[in-house]
Structure 1
């Protein structure tokens, strides 16, 4: 079957890979000049099933008010005149209940754990290298209140069988030796030993090359403009170079997927959440992170990627603006100066922003739509890298009319029908 994948980010390329492995003839369209050039380009670098949890959680509305009052705040909300934003926000707030959180967390952990296993299988079968490390994630607590409330996190981890370690200051230094230089900055931490790290952009580019070896055709520099429907099915995709036809179509354009599908009656509850990152060269390996350190106070992740440090964080609700805002950079710089002051060179830093496609319940939208030959794989929010391989494999199985390895019905768009 001929399958057309729209989007060549990490989710689109993993979808293409598993579709090709299933025997389909796959073409990928993307407006950029190569794979992984937008949201997948410079994310935080974590493959973190242990941190797979929805933003919508009990107590979040109160926390959000406190966050927006902080100088180095993890959440930034800009005034909006978009009715669609307020509809999305209302749905998110409706998910801030114990019952909804448990349901959504269960979906996300299921997919994320599966995705990590699928990624490991892919790595073993292809030999792909992308500055990956299997050294876990360490969440560091700066305050006694954070230490005292660690049970809030571990109860959820216990419920889903996710291994963890509660560490004192010495335990944190044992896991991340460079923190011994700044041990006055934190009191303890929570370590998730099964989490991984890696460069999502490098992975996406190298997997695209592997896809080409499997016969996948990538058409870069092609803008996707619309969807043509005939007889209750997708008949073609309208692009700036003409109509492109296939037997089946996969929409994997991240935050831009809703605008593409809205004119044909498919309303995806996805809103762009802007994230920022810094990338700086390592100048002293002994003073740099070993894996990922998550600063719980500022919700910033500091990750070792080969000879670089990636510092990622901030959730900014600003529509589709991609303006690089200096206060967000200051927050990221503060965290790296606090925790790894001698590890990297802030004089040679790259500052980046990307739009993360977020659903109100945190779970991506993977599966069939009202049109029998149109599928979605989008809405992964901050966990696109974590969930990419698993959602790509599930999507390929659904397209191939094969039962996926994990329950998947609650990942599809129709979960919002109620």
Structure 2
């Protein structure tokens, strides 16, 4: 713990040193530089104090999210500045070595001085994440996108050719603060001409009571002809706070499971059901959370017991790492898995159809959108809500509409 604290302090000092160098190169007025130092110190003290006051029996609060947003707003731009100026220093030191040993320049004159335009570049680049984080907090977190995806399966039952599924995931209702925006998102869900809606977990951050102010809002989700189904996510187990007793934790868990029913969703707990359309049917399977680094309550074999290998299967599993480690090569052949969990880290760059990047990709092999292995697919929803950072940059909240088609190609 002490070593980690020392490393953290050293890293903060490193970032603050280079950030100050950028301002000092451009600004010569002493009172402005002193003001910058004082403000930086006060903000750092506030952030450290706020995080030190986190109550493990309460979990995420509005204050925690505000502090997280402030931390990112201040230090992501400073990290950008640090990278630019540190890169310049590497060049300056290299040039100094050459000047000293090759050109016999005196030690005091060997290293070139810091260039003003490099500091300008650093500050200019830092303005991009600074403005993006502000946008993400005030607009991005409610900038809902409807993403449509068509997936072809050669063995899809004929009656389900053109069958549409709306998927939502990771609601995290305890983070919401705007009824108008959430009502707008519900309207978007209802406008989609889908046959069924699936909710792949995380209805709250921790406590069942977080959803109570939003029950009427989510009850506005219309009835779908072939049903409304859900599975649990890792946050639905209340694992991330300290409970007064196991009894309190279990009562909260039972209340969270009831929430899904209170908004009209049938919760599948390591079980399956069949969706019948005409003379054909598909198996809808729901497992509890199974994550590589999170709770592993999901039991795929139990959930698919008595489901035939030749049955067409749609599986709901909150964490996409489950697909990577258990599902994608399972002998029962799960045709389509729907997941969420990653949120795309709520921060990244995405140009639909061309490019997508997020830190999430260094943690999850499947982190946003559609992935395939041996004709089996997983779709990872980017999430409906937000958690920790009270915003979204580049990776927007998502409502997915997946159309199943009979055939051999992906469109």
Normalising by structure 1, report the TM-score: 0.24
Considering fraction of residues, name the structure with more helix. 2
Structure whose alpha-carbon radius of gyration is higher: 2
Structure whose residues are more often strand by fraction? 1
- The answer to which structure, 1 or 2, has the higher relative contact order (CA under 8 A, 6+ apart) is 1
